[in-house]
Structure 1
Amino acid sequence: MPTFIEVKRSTDTRVRREVVAQMLDYAANAKEYWSVSDIRKIYEKQNKNLCNDLEIEEGIEELFWQNVKNNLKLGKIRLLFVADEIPLSLKRIIEFLNSRMTDTDVLGLEIKQFISDTNLKTFVSRIIGQTSNSIQVKKPLGYFEWNEESFLKEVEKLDIALVEICKGIVNKFTDLGCYIYWGGGKQTGSFVSIYEANQRHQLFTVFSYAKQVKLELYFQYYKESYFTHDKKKQMQKKLSEILKFKIEDDKLNKRPSFNIDILKDDNKRKEFIDYFELIIKDIKKLKS
C-alpha cells in the first residue's frame, strides 16, 4: 500500500490545517504524478532487493509491484502524520477522516521522547486514528465478526463450564474500563481486552480453537512507559505463581498462552483478574 508520510515537530504551527491540506493534496494527485515504474526505480536506486527485504520468492516480486499499481490506481493508500506530539485538533481530524474513508488509511504516529536522569533516551510511539468506528468502516467484503453470543456458542461446544468463565472475563474487564474487541477469524472465535489511557494497551486475547480455549498474554504488544522490561519480568513471576504455569524468559517479547481450563479454579481466576485490575489502576495513575 503506497504510504505518504508528513513529519513535523509539534512546535511547528503548520502541524494542523496546512499539513492536512498538503496530505489531501498528495492523496488526490498521487496517481497522476506517481507511476509504479518511478517508485520502483527510486527503490532500486538505493541498492535494495525487494525479495530480501520482504523475504519473498523472486516469482512474487512482479505480483507485488502489480498490487502497488492497482492500489495506487484505486486510491488505496495510507496517509501518515508523524510528530513528537499530535495536538487534539489534528487528532480529531485524523479520526474523522479515517472513520469516513473506506479505501484510504489516515493515521497519526506520535513519537514522544523521554530522557532519564542518566541521559538515557527512550522513544515511545502511539498510533492515532484506529477507532472502533474506523475499523468497522474498513472491514473487507465477506468479513465475519464474532460477538459475545457467537463466541460463547463455540465455547459451549467444547466445554459448557468454560462459558461462564469467558462471560465473567468479558463482564469484569468491561467493568474495569476495557474495550472488548471481537475478532474476525472465519473459523476461530476470539476477543481482545484493550485498555486505553495514555496509550492503547492490548492486555490479552482469548481464542476458541477447535479443541480448546486458550488465553494469550500480549507481552509482545505491551508498551512502555508502563510496561518496561522490569515490569514484564515482574508480571512473568507473578502470573507464573498465580497460574502454576511457567512463563519462559524467551516469551517476554512474544505471546505466551495457556489453556483457559486453568481458570476453572476459582482462586486462580480471582487472583488473575485481581492482578490485572491492579495493573489497570497503575496505568490510570501513570496517565494522571
Structure 2
Amino acid sequence: MNTGTGVFVLRDAQTLVAMQAASFATEDDFQRLLASFPELLAGDQIDTEVPRRFMLVAREKGIAAEEGGADRWSLDHLFLDQDGIPTLVEVKRGTDTRIRREVVGQMLDYAANSVLHWPLDTLRAQFGARCEAESRDAGEVLRDLIGPDAEPEAFWEAVRTNLQAGRVRLLFVADRVPPELRRVVEFLNRQMQPAEVLAVELRQYEGQGLKTLVPIVLGRSEITKDRKGSSSRAAQPKRTWDEVTIMGEIAALGDDAVLEAARAILAWIHRRADRIAFNTNPSFGALGAVFEVNGVEISALRVFTDGTMAVYFEYMLGKPVFDALPLRQALLDRLNAIPGIRLPPDAVSKRKTIPLAGLSTDAIAAFLAAMDWFVDTLRAGSSPAGD
C-alpha cells in the first residue's frame, strides 16, 4: 500500500490519489512557473490582513553596482505588490548547494544596490516591454493589481518612494528550504527595517497525471508581524474626496498660479462634463470629468492634489468616437501645440500627467480650447474638420 506523503487529491467520490513529492526538473522550469503564476508566492500568507498581490516587472532584472554603470548582477524576478513595494525573488532548487550561503550574500547585494540604481522610468519601461512581448495591455495588467479606483501615477510614485526608503521585500524561493537558510531569513527579518525578508518553500507533488503545488511562507514570526505590521497602505480606510478637499490640498502646495489653473479647469468641467467623479485613495485625491456617449462613460480628464492633470487617452480606447487613432492623434497634436505641454508620441494611447506649474494663463486657456474641441467632436461623433 502506497501511503504517499500525507498529501492526497480526491479525484471523485470513490478515488483518493496519494501524491508523491517531486522536484522541479530545472531551475528555469521553476522560474517560469513563478513568472506565470505570481500567486504561488502566497501573498495571503505574507500578509494575512491584506493579502499581497504581485505583478511581474521583469525576469533576469539587471542590477548595477554604481550609478549609470553596467549591470553587474541579475535578479531572477522583480515583482511589485499592490502598494508598489518592490519584491525581489531569487529562486533555487533545494539540491543547489548555493542556497545555504551564496544566495544570501547575492540577495543582500541585490537589495543594497537596487534601491540606489533602479531609475523608476527604467522599471516602467521594462514592465511595458514585458507586457508588449506577451501581447497584454499594460494598463489592464496594472488595473488588475491596484484596482480600478487607484491612480497609476500614484502607484508608480509609491514605487519610487519605497525604493528610496529601502522598503523592499526579499523572497528566497525553493522547493526545499534548508534549516540553515530558514534561520538566516528569520534573523534578517527581525533585524532589517523597513525591508522584509522571507522564504517561500514551494512543494510539488505528483500522482496519476495530477500535480499539486503547496507554497509555505517561512520567516515571519509573531514578533516581526507585530513590529512590522501589515505592509499594506490598502489597510488604511478609504477617503471620500470632494471639490473642497481636493482644492484645499492644491492650495496647500503654496503656488497661486497652480491653484488658479486648477480652478479654471474645475469651472470648465462644471460647464462641459456630464458628471464629476472622485477617487477614494487615502492619500492622493483626484477629480475627473466624465462624459457619456450612447450610454458609455468616458473618463477623459483628471486633476490631482499634487498639482498635476492628465488627459486619459487610454480610457478613450474601445469607447465611442475617440477610439479612432486619427482623432486621438489630433487631440494630442493640439495639446502639444500649447507652450509648456510636451507629451510623448505614445501618450496617444496612454495616460500622461501634465504639471500645472509653469503653464501660463494663456496656456490654460489654450488647453481648455483643445478640450472644447474634444467635447464638440465627441458629441458630434464625426472626424475633425480642421483647425
Structure having the higher helix fraction is: 1
Structure having the higher strand fraction is: 2
